[in-house]
Structure 1
Amino acid sequence: MTTALLILHFCVTVALIGVVLIQRSEGGGLGIGSSQGMGAFMSGRGTANLLTRTTAVLAGLFMLLSLTLALLYRGGVSGVGHDILAQPQGAASAPPQATVSVPQPAPATPKP
């Protein structure tokens, strides 16, 4: 099931990128979204409305699939319930004590 969701998520992602690139921006974008490419199918305003709605739907699907995949992988990749924030089973409740080594002065040698 997760493989199918990952493939669907990839397809939605590619479609979302494509639709965003097709849209006409203030600077002209890629110029693909103009009415010249659509012929007599839709006007410029109709094309912009269609692309805006398509972007909103694809963005919603992207978010929904991302949340679904995050919930499915919540238990870890292996599927076993695993919390990465939990302490290991063998860890003591007290934090480990740091040991500080103080250098000892060298023994004094008598001068002749």
Structure 2
Amino acid sequence: MENVVLIIHLLLALGLIAVVLLQRSEGGGLGMGGGGGGAMSGRAAATAMSKITWVLAVAFIGTSITLTILSAQKSAGSSVADRLSAPAADGAADTPDAPLGSDLLPPVQGDNAPLVPSAD
């Protein structure tokens, strides 16, 4: 089901891109003139293209929401933290324990003075 909705979503995206690129530029957005001709000129064509754009945009948003719901249902009992903590618990038995803070200090000599090599 998810693959079917994803393919429809992809086709809607490509259709939306094509319809937007086919529309006549009315404001000269990027400095290009709005030269069109034939069937694409006139107010009726612009209205039809804008209606097609709206239909494709609403369908695109609908498939986006559907894909979100499907993926949320698919991952409904799992968490990323659960998936990360499970291998760490299994691998913890194989790895040695980390040294404590006192294990990192140099050995102590006599009356709690650290053993420091002499410069003699």
TM-score for both structures, normalised by structure 1: 0.63
SS at match of 2:79: coil
Equivalence for 1:56: 54
Equivalence for 1:27: 28
Equivalence for 1:7: 7
Residues 52 and 108 from structure 1, CA distance in 2 versus in 1: closer, same or farther, beyond 3 angstroms? same
Residues 110 and 21 from structure 1, CA distance in 2 versus in 1: closer, same or farther, beyond 3 angstroms? closer
Q: Which amino acid aligns with 2:44?
A: G
Q: Report the count of equivalent residues.
A: 100
Unaligned runs of 5+ in 1: 92-98
TM-score for both structures, normalised by structure 2: 0.60
**Separation in 1 of the partners of 2:119 and 2:33?**
92
**Separation in 1 of the partners of 2:9 and 2:80?**
27
Q: 1:83 aligns with which of 65, 78, 83?
A: 78
Per residue, is there more helix in 1 or in 2? Answer: 2
Residues 44 and 86 from structure 1, CA distance in 2 versus in 1: closer, same or farther, beyond 3 angstroms? same
